[in-house]
Structure 1
Amino acid sequence: MAQSSRVRQNKVNAAAYIGAGIITPGAGGGGSTIRRLAGFGGDQGNQIRPSDGSKNSFNARKRFYTPVPIPNPEVAYTGIYYNSGNEYDYPNEVAYHSAIELPDGTIRDMGATVTVSPGTILAKSAKADGFTIPAGFYWIRTNGKVATGGLWYYTDAFRAANVGNMEEGVDLVDKAVSGTIGNASQQMPAAAIGVIGDMPAARRLFALTGDSLSQGVGGYSHATAPSLALGVLAGLVLQRDVGSVLHLGRAGASALANKDKYAKRIALMQALGVTDIFSDLGVNDLSSTSSAATLKTNLTALFNTFKAAMPTVRIYQSTITPSTTATAPITESNQTVPTAMQDGRRLTFNADLRAGGFSSLLAGVVEFAIPAQLDADPNLWKAGYASDAGNPGAQQHPNQTGGEAIVAYAAAQNALAMPV
């Protein structure tokens, strides 16, 4: 079948963004290992707000997690960012100098300063040959500089106590290897997105394309790596121990807003060695104007774009969890279904998804809805599972209890561990 002009153009766009940075099979040696992004905590591209241009240097210390050792690491950076439905280039060059810090106090300088230009898909530090990041938590300390009057971006992807600390100021000295890094509140300057290392070829890398559920809004984060395995998507990858995670979701995201706005992120997926894409998009579409059929059409367009650029990538879609409105305290009897969803569109979409409605586009369907919804009325949340259990208003996110139940159910289902 001939490709549509849109699909052909997406291939051209992705190729133009990639340049020479693609990580290829066997790059780690003999085909048994591969160079790809490793671990959890690597979301860096979220657009939150720019600096005011009056401070041209900052220091960041960010915590990451890996369930397996990472040999011969390189620190990875990008010069793009995105919001709920658009992608952008950084407004100016940013120069980064990083070091890896281990819990035993070891600090490994990662070499010369790396200048990241606007639109750079992937930039890398020097490779620390012979050095291995052990399994567990570690930190990436980064000093960033922009030209006087230049801008750098903040992200809230690491929002939590003791996850990251930063300090901003005018012409700060390079503290990537030494010095004190001060505390911050919830927002961090964009810096390293994680590390690339020699991973076993079977160790997969999941790109998470999702909305606020993928970002852990509502209180859920996996207990093994709190605030780093954010959201039920990353929680499931960690629970099954099948690979690493690249967060590409954003609160408020929808299939409608993203179906033709993913070229830069696709190029980043390719450059970092993504093997699987895990989507939870849908609830924001269904809560507004999209019918079940329209959501399917828009997701199909997005998934076809992924497949056109990455023919071997495995794509997974989760069933859509409930969306209700409730008064406090939330019980099974005081929830109402928003007007847009009163036609049963969420249940219709989920039923079609489970029945193979996306045909060969999907490697599997991951069941999030059944463990979250009320048995007697699947339009509603189970009591105690929604995020705002003590507050009135919209209920679109699981709390820690609900998230744990969803992840446990989906882990037992084992959809992600299909044959490689």
Structure 2
Amino acid sequence: MTAFSLEPVQLAWCAELRTLAAERLHPLADKGEPGHVNRALVAELGSLGLLGRLFTSGALDLCLMRESLAYACTEAETALALQGLGAHPVHAYGTEAQRARWLPRVTAGTAVAAFALSEPGAGSDAAALELTAEAEGEAEADASRAGRSTDTSGAGPSPEAPALTAAPDGPARWRLTGEKCWISNAPEADFYTVFARTTPGAGARGVTAFLVPADRPGLTGRGLDMLSPHPIGALGFDAVPVTADDVLGEADRGFRVAMGTLNLFRPSVGAFAVGMAQAALDATLTHTAGRDAFGGKLRDLQAVSHQVAEMALRTEAARLMVYAAASAYDRDDPDVPRRSAMAKLLATETAQYVVDTAVQLHGARALQRGHLLEHLYREVRAPRIYEGASEVQRGIIAKELYARQEAR
């Protein structure tokens, strides 16, 4: 790893993390069942103090953790990242009671968190989500105040009568109805950060974030058989009860919770990708230096050495952009959305190229089950889609650029 204004202590910490990942986390990852939460691995991350650092460190430290773990054990990296993604909204936007109940268990690795934003019809277009949070007692309260008859159509609150008002007999209550899909750690998480529509027709401004424990009545789930080995599932909500005590942040302001979380984690998705790219590059250097071919070593072929040079060039460029974006987040710079999008886009696209090229230079052996590159090849594809597909990142970048131009 080369430095981006990194202190010796940071470089030493990264080396220590790679060693821990190889010696203590990888054996636990090997014992896990693909497609299911590896609770022993999560607990070990907690005992090592790594989960606690999710909430006490800045974005750059998060990137260093994810890159270092990904280099030696992608399963450990993903388990750590999913704990952070699911629990960060609780840490950043939760009440004292919410934080006290869940964060100690998350950091100890005894409670598994999940971030439930995507839906079957609302993936890249997160503002189009349709999971409905229908307020209990809202229609009756409106009718009483307006002196009109109660609407019993079941259509829920309208933009003119948003579901923000407490019912006459106590705090606001809602029923969640709909489906979430492509949710990491579902259906085995202990709680979910769930984004639901509380005001129909209001787009991103009518979404509320809820903290929903997995044992709420009406909440069901099923696993999905995916290319990546980590757990991903779908959730069904059949009038799942939530109250104002479950709201994260403010009602109808949940999109800010989602985007605030993604702005932090997008650069670190890039760090995950950089870790995989570096692992693929190092494996390729070893292979091409030792492989006999055409009367010499594989590295002696100019076509091969130039490809290796390109792999290194792109990996280093991606790393520098990831670190720059994370540092901008830590400084609270105004252009964090653009930098985060650029970092995720470049790093994930780079990792796809580097891993694919590494497979090509290794030949058929890289396609065997159990080979490092076979594993990385399956892992590297998903980051170009989740937490905002590459096309979404390009849209964010362009939007930010034009907004800055218009502000001049």
| Short-chain TM bin | under 0.3
Q: Whose RCO is larger (CA < 8 A, sep 6+)?
A: 1
TM-score, reference length from structure 2: 0.27
Q: Which has the higher helix share?
A: 2
Between structure 1 and structure 2, the one with the greater Rg is: 2
TM-score, reference length from structure 1: 0.26
